[in-house]
Amino acid sequence: DLEDWAKPTTTKQFLAQVKSWSSQLAIAFAGNHFLDKWTLFTIGTLQWMLQCNRCESTLEKRAPAKFPRIGAGAGMAMEATYVLSNLITSVAGVGSIKEALRA
């Protein structure tokens, strides 16, 4: 449901979904007593953002602080910043940003 940003889940469901992750990382996340299953990432893919010319607003679209009790906005902003900074540092100038996002 695209109206819900996050949905409660159980530790067992979470670990089953992230079984390809490092076991230490999955266990660290599963230890959080406010465990939510994120549904935000089904809203827009990288290809969708490129087709809709939304490259410049990726960070703000990925960082809603709807669930402050678990720091959702802050965590998502940090993740988006990390991904975008790695993409942007691979280009020579502003004109190449869209090309980097297509890579």
User: What pTM value is reported for the model?
Assistant: 0.29
Contact 77, 63 (CB under 8 A): yes
Between CA 28 and CA 65 the distance in angstroms is: 22
Task: Domain ranges for the chain, please list them.
Answer: 1-42, 44-103
CA dist 40 and 34 (Å) reads 17
pLDDT per residue over 23-55, tens digit each?
A: 777 767 666 655 555 544 444 555 655 555 554
